[in-house]
Amino acid sequence: MKSKIKITLLSFFLLISAWGNAGAIDLHTYISKMTLGEDPGEPDTIYAVCSRWSATEQVIQIRMKSDNTAHGDSISGMYMPLVITTDKPGVLLDTSIAATYSGTALEYWGFPIVSLFTPYYPGDPSYFPMHALMGGGDWGDAIVLPFGKGDHLIANLVFNISEPTKFVVDTTSNMSIGRPLEVATTSAYGYTPMWKGCTCEQLEILGDLNRDYDVNLSDVVYLLNYLFGKPGNSTLKSVTVADFNCDGHVLLSDLVSLINLVFKSHPIPCKL
């Protein structure tokens, strides 16, 4: 049985690498002797969830909930075609295996994958809408690390950002592109789990001019430099981050409001 699993998964993931040129991959054809059918228990779900974020980074987790407990039903292969959209430029996906799979259920799998197959821009980690193939396979004679019942972290999508950005993560299955989400078990059985996407957006904090997600003295200094310093010393990504009185401008009165907010906890004028 181990030999059969090793051969079938190896065939699958060698062929997966040709996705961008070969088009839709038919797992039933390429994974010899694998039976495609229904989830062995209650419907499993692969889902995306917003995770940590900062002024320069947004992380989105891909997770899987499974109730598989029977012998041979552990997950040892996974095929996740995703589509990712953004509303701002200057976004870059970290496509390294370490960033994507460290600390996940796939971390020690024999063949983890991050493959970008965006039409006309294959392999470009900065072009959106982005089509990305995640997943991989686990095989080998010594170490086998499939997973069964539980809520498992599958992958981290780590994006470098230059300004607050809205992300939408879905599966290309919902766009009638290529194969759907599919997983393979240790008994060479395959099925399509349910899917739930997500929308993630970093919140702009009024007064957080340096975008460290805290309003403090450093923001007062930042605004001082913006108003009175040399041109280019400080820049604002948007007026609203420093427009305390909501008049559409950033002026000395806004600096006074920021100082009052930081040192005296005064309320924001236009929020009264």
CA separation for the pair 242, 219 (Å, rounded) = 10
Q: Is 254 exposed, middle or buried (0-12, 13-18, 19+ CB in 10 A)?
A: buried
Q: Provide the pLDDT for residue 23.
A: 31
Q: Which domains does the chain have, with CATH numbers?
A: 2-201 (2.60.40.680), 217-271 (no CATH)
Looking at per-residue pLDDT, the higher value among 216 and 176 belongs to 216
Q: Phi/psi at 24 (nearest 5 deg)?
A: -65, 135
Q: Would the pTM count as exceeding 0.85?
A: no
Strands (E), 138-172: 150-160, 166-171
Q: Provide the pLDDT for residue 244.
A: 87
Q: What is the pLDDT of residues 224-264, one digit of tens each?
A: 999 987 666 667 777 888 888 888 889 999 999 999 989 88
Indicate whether 146 pLDDT > 90: no
Q: Provide the pLDDT for residue 113.
A: 86
Q: Provide the pLDDT for residue 175.
A: 66
CA separation for the pair 159, 91 (Å, rounded) = 7
**Are the C-beta atoms of residues 53 and 116 closer than 8 Å to each other?**
no
CA separation for the pair 227, 166 (Å, rounded) = 29
Q: What is the pLDDT of residues 161-183, one digit of tens each?
A: 988 899 999 997 666 666 788 89
